[in-house]
Copies of this chain bind each other. A is one copy, B any other.
Amino acid sequence: MTLFGTDLPIIQAPMAGAQLSELAIAVSDAGGLGSLPCAMLSPADVRAELAKIGARRVNLNFFCHPPPRVDEVRERAWRDRLAPYYRALGIDPEAPVPSATRAPFDDAMFDVIAEYRPAVASFHFGLPAAEVVARVKQLGVKVISSATTVEEARWLAARGCDAIIAQGWEAGGHRGMFLATDLATQLGTFALVPRIVDAVDVPVIAAGGIADARGVAAAFALGASAVLVGTAYLACPESRISDAHRAALASGDETVVTNVYTGRPARGIATRFVREVGPIAGAPEFPRAATAVGPLRAKDPTIGPFWSGQHRIARTLSAAELTRALGA
């Protein structure tokens, strides 16, 4: 019996902006647990995707970041820093820019959970308020979240998480850091998983650097009860990444953790933009930094972000093939 009752102990990592229900459906149908990232969707969008997912087991994923402080000086400095990129692409740096939307979990999303009762609700950047976590659990929905340190894992366990994702340094996309602030002390998967397994009483889900059956076996050897796989699924035809993103994943270029795209540290391919502006810069708070990058991305698809973990994907499999290969 796997952690969440699926045939295989494989969870497809939710990847906001990179996938909708096609990927989740393919993974769930192949015996894993598919995930629908909701942070960049409206409640109506989520309902529409859930209608396609139907009765399948699914993990709905939400961000729960605090609302960003607006620091006009920092925002101005950031616009100035990016102005040469605007000008190079023929965009007026002073033109108004629509806000990038990455909404934290709220009552409207709770209503979606209450209506559809997914197998799992996962959170990134901590957890919602204690009473909200309790209400989600009362619905029979399992609650999980990501820890990047032992301290964060203990915090999540004490607040009722049914399982904890140990997000190692290798992982692609946003670091789930919510107590930790120092990137230099973030732990690799090999050290993080057993340390969290030893520190908490709930099951641990390993994430970061797992892209094939070897990684799944290794994660279980370290004490994990399931694995979360992102980058390998990103390369599948069922993801909705851009051609530029797909090319970047196939390029063999290495990744770095950078905050230049959104204001929070996240691992992606070291593009020219990341190398020139970052990898870590004085960007506005998440998700406000993303707003100023938006027009650049729209005009030049090579700007990025191209989220990716530290594995390189040698060949493209369908999500079903990948799920079965991971579970082999």
Mark A residues whose CB is within 8 Å of B.
149, 168-170, 182, 184-185, 187-192, 194-195, 198, 208-212, 214-215, 217-219, 221-223, 254-257, 270, 279, 309-312, 314
Closest to A210 in B: B190
Oligomeric state, in number of copies? Answer: 2
Contacts of A189 in B (CB 8 A): 188-190, 209
Nearest Cβ on chain B to A328's Cβ, whole angstroms? 13
Residues of chain B within 8 A (CB-CB) of A215 are 190, 194, 222
Interface contact B214-A188, CB-CB below 8 Å: no
Tell me, in angstroms, the Cα distance from A16 to B222 when the chains sit together.
Answer: 29
Instruction: Please give the distance in Å from A165's CB to the nearest CB on chain B.
Output: 14
Given contacts A194-B212, A215-B190, contact A184 B270 (CB under 8 A): yes
Taking a contact as CB atoms under 8 Å apart, the answer to whether A185 and B219 are in contact is: no
Query: Which B residues touch A168, using CB under 8 A?
Result: 188, 190
A310: chain B residues at CB < 8 Å are: 187-188, 190-192
Which one, B185, B188, B212, contacts A256 given CB within 8 A? Answer: B185
Q: How far is the CA of A229 from the CA of B314 in the complex (A)?
A: 30
Top 8 A-B pairs, shortest CB-CB distance? A190-B209, A188-B188, A191-B310, A217-B221, A185-B254, A218-B218, A191-B209, A218-B221
**Least Cβ distance of A268 to chain B in Å?**
12
CB-contact partner of A194 in B169, B182, B214, B309, under 8 A: B214
CB distance from A250 to the nearest CB of B (A): 15
Chain B residues closer than 8 Å to A309, beta-carbon distance:
191
A-B CB contact pairs (8 Å), 28 listed = A168-B190, A169-B169, A170-B187, A170-B191, A184-B257, A184-B270, A184-B279, A185-B254, A185-B256, A188-B189, A188-B208, A188-B310, A189-B190, A190-B210, A190-B215, A191-B208, A191-B310, A191-B311, A192-B310, A194-B215, A195-B312, A214-B222, A214-B223, A215-B222, A217-B218, A217-B221, A218-B218, A218-B219
